[in-house]
Structure 1
Amino acid sequence: MRQIFEAELRALGEGLETMSGLVQDAITKAGVALVSTDLAVAEAVIADDLAIDRLEEELDERCVRLLAQQQPVATDLRMVVSGLRISASLERMGDLARHIAQVARGRYPRHAVPPHLTQTFVEMDAAAVRLSQRLVELLTTRDLAVAAAIEAADDLLDDLHEDTFKALLGASWAGSAQEAVDVTLLSRYYERFGDHGVSVARRITYLVTGEVQGSV
């Protein structure tokens, strides 16, 4: 029975790694769609989010079966419960990438972001992509230095998020009402993407060290 349980846990870990790879692909393509006004890429991100949703459902079902059939305790229980939490965070990150693509699609062929904020969103996109790459690495290696790098990437996203609000509230803002809405939403999507990445990083840190750091 123990061998079966360990095989199920390995399959769960592999599924989370696959899911993180899909999220990395989604946020990378969402940034391309936003910055380059690429309609085909935006449509692909929106369509591909279904694969992330389906994988979350499969992993959640696996976790529930493990809880019901194996009744794990201690470290094993933490691993299964963490699997549920991580899959939920990754699924939400996929949704946020889809939301970014939907904004890009909705404004096509125009840019959703006004020219004077383009560089800010280029930097936000780069930070989100780096964070997603590190998530893939973290789920594979459980390297706590990578978890710390994810937190640093999130700090940058928070700073850039604040920059967009300063621009919106500044006296020099000359954008339309629609641009103000789009900038607010897009900035929030990127900021929340980072927050969910941190949630995954802290959950992995908890698995490795047994110590809770902030909200997991």
Structure 2
Amino acid sequence: MREVFQQELREVQDRLVEISSLVTVAITNATTAFNESNVSLAESVIAEDHKIDALAVSLDELAINILALQQPVARDLRIVVSALRISASLERMGDLAEHIAQLARYRYPDKVVKKSLRGTFTEMGRLDVNMAKNLTVLLTNEDLALVEVIREDDDSLDELHVSVFDAVLGETWKGGAVDTVDVTLASRYHERFGDHAVAIAKKVQYLATGDWAGAAE
């Protein structure tokens, strides 16, 4: 029974990595579609999101079955409970990638943001993709050095998010109401994607060290 239980725990980790890999593909394609006004790429992100959702549901079912049948304790219990929370964050990250792609599709053939902010959103997209890639590696091998890398990228993302709001509230902003709404939503989607990545990284750090206070810093 113990061997079966350990196999199930490995399956939980493998499924988290699989979902994270799909999220990485989604945000990579979504930000490219957004910045390049690539409608076919945007539609592919939207069409593929159901796979992330289905995998998250399947993982949740596996975790609940483990809790019910194996009654894990100590670190094993933390792994299963954390997997449920990480799964939820990954699913939400997939949704945010889909939202970014939807903005690209809605505004096609035009680009979503005005020229003055395109460089900002290109950098926001780069940071999101980088965080997603590092998160997949972190979930694979628990390389805790990546936790700080993800946090630093998120700090940069937050600064860019603030700069977008400063721009649309400034006197030189020439965008109309639709432009303002699009830019505000897009910036929020990028920023929230990073927040979820940090939240997952903290949970992995906690699992590896058992120190929640250190992970929450």
Query: TM class, shorter-chain normalised?
Result: over 0.9
Is residue 2:217 matched to residue 1:183?
Answer: no
CA shift for structure 1 position 214: 2.4
Q: Could you say which residue in structure 2 is the equivalent of 1:214?
A: 216
Amino acid at match of 2:54: R
Q: Could you say which residue in structure 1 is the equivalent of 2:9?
A: 9
Q: Could you say which residue in structure 1 is the equivalent of 2:61?
A: 61
CA shift for structure 1 position 14: 0.4
Q: Could you say which residue in structure 1 is the equivalent of 2:137?
A: 137
Distance in 1 separating the partners of 2:183 and 2:3: 51
Q: Could you say which residue in structure 1 is the equivalent of 2:76?
A: 76
Distance in 2 separating the partners of 1:156 and 1:48: 29
Distance in 2 separating the partners of 1:32 and 1:165: 22
Q: What are the within-5 Å matches in structure 2 for residues 131-210 of structure 1?
A: 131-210=131-210
Q: Could you say which residue in structure 2 is the equivalent of 1:25?
A: 25
CA shift for structure 1 position 176: 1.1
Distance in 1 separating the partners of 2:211 and 2:47: 38
Cα displacement string for residues 65-117 of structure 1 (whole angstroms, at most 9, x for unaligned residues): 00000011111100000110111110000000000000110001111111100
CA shift for structure 1 position 147: 1.1
Q: Could you say which residue in structure 2 is the equivalent of 1:40?
A: 40
| TM-score, normalised with respect to structure 2 | 0.98
Distance in 2 separating the partners of 1:185 and 1:56: 25
Q: What residue ranges of structure 2 are gaps of 5+ in the alignment?
A: none
Amino acid at match of 2:71: Q
CA shift for structure 1 position 135: 0.5
Amino acid at match of 2:20: S
CA shift for structure 1 position 141: 1.2
Cα displacement string for residues 120-150 of structure 1 (whole angstroms, at most 9, x for unaligned residues): 0000000001000100110111011011111
Distance in 2 separating the partners of 1:214 and 1:161: 22
Give structure 1 regions of 4+ aligned residues with deviation exceeding 4 angstroms. none
Distance in 2 separating the partners of 1:20 and 1:152: 20
Q: Could you say which residue in structure 2 is the equivalent of 1:49?
A: 49
| TM-score, normalised with respect to structure 1 | 0.98
- Cα RMSD of the aligned pairs, angstroms, is 0.8
Distance in 2 separating the partners of 1:153 and 1:50: 28
Distance in 2 separating the partners of 1:59 and 1:141: 19
Task: Number of aligned residue pairs: give it.
Answer: 215
CA shift for structure 1 position 21: 0.4
Distance in 2 separating the partners of 1:198 and 1:141: 17
Distance in 2 separating the partners of 1:109 and 1:211: 50
Distance in 1 separating the partners of 2:70 and 2:140: 25
Is residue 2:134 matched to residue 1:112?
Answer: no
Distance in 2 separating the partners of 1:171 and 1:141: 48
Distance in 2 separating the partners of 1:61 and 1:54: 11
User: Sequence identity of aligned pairs in percent?
Assistant: 52
